[in-house]
Structure 1
């Protein structure tokens, strides 16, 4: 089927053809009317056109045919006048929606202002939610960092406290050792002075095992070992006025390597405290090399003043 453009093109060509034909007839008639008549010499000749009826009929038929089809004997296309006037060519649309052959009823179009407002509100809400989420994440990171810093600070403080406590304990132990050593030296000096001031009989030959040492130095040595054991002894929980006899073995330098309980009614914890008291620090050795004893017997009792009465 021919399109509207093809029909319009055919109609235009037909109009131009008829207009050209009419113009040609008009120019021919004008030329004939304006042509000057030339005078001929002599009498004018009169002639009469003799035509038969058949010739006249053929001429009349040709004239009628030319009026009906002035251009060409081809059959004309479908009469344009019989069809309704073509609608103006619609503007091509960019969307894929096909053209509606007939106009549709007007539809309710949403308000453009409302759509813009809704879109703006939605965009603002999305931005606000994004900012809130970002702020929450940042705050969580800050809180986590602060927690880590607080934990690290607490750990540093704890380590410092432990170091200070250790230093304090070491100082106290050093002070205790210093006091014990001073007391031992003072006792040793007192014992030596007392032994020198007290005249006695001629000492007999020293028995085997004491290396010929004098009894005063040996007594001072035993007293110093007892004092060292008492200072190291934690007597909390020990029954009062209860004697606990032990024998320990030491090596040169005063280090105790073995402890034996000879007669001790203390419980397991009390005995453990006695064992620790003997092994905690070396027994006195410097100055007592001549009277050094490998095996020594001591008696633990609390309070010492009451036990010796």
Structure 2
């Protein structure tokens, strides 16, 4: 309300100020006096006034009626303020009307079933693809595990073969060294027996025959059987300086058919070495037929110089 009144008042004040400004400008503005040019020399004149004239003039001026003062120009009264026009209600901005949406037709039941069926088929196809991808990945993983396992087994077999080959080479080397030592020992024993007197043969059961015995032939027969058995014997399995007395049975031709241990402290492996030595090759027979005996007692012991006699 105050704003509506202040505007007309301000307009009235501005109008009056404008009128006053026009009056002042009109009072100040006067046309410049025109100078008249007259021919001839300039005449200088002076006015001589006596004192009595001055007094008389002052008296006349005092007695003369004073002119009435000129009334000031009427000031136009400001027009009464006009009633402000009633503010017209401004039209409220039109609210944005929602754009009418096109009505989407509802699908028919047949279309809904087709859409649902299509969605189900797509979901099932996606599941089948995922299952197939999973199966393929599992197959790849299984194949990779089998490959790694086969590779590990192959390396293990190769390592075992290499170890077995090394063990076989080591065993052959040891066997060759042992055979070399046995051969050296056998040669020394043969040399010792050739220089030493022949031992008396162990008593044996007389074999059936004509009861004729050649003592020299029987001694050579006993020595030949002992040398054959010792040559075939693996001494590394038996303890040193430990005698083992055995009795074996042979048939004509020197083949051993039975072995028994009379007094032998050897373990199982050492006894097997004695049996292999007796069965490895036939005992001497050719040339010893007159002194052949079916049962022979032998004593296995090494070295001979350390064994009891």
Could you tell me the TM-score, scaled by structure 1's length? Answer: 0.40
- With normalisation by structure 2, the TM-score equals 0.40
Higher relative contact order (Cα pairs below 8 Å, separated by 6+ residues): 2
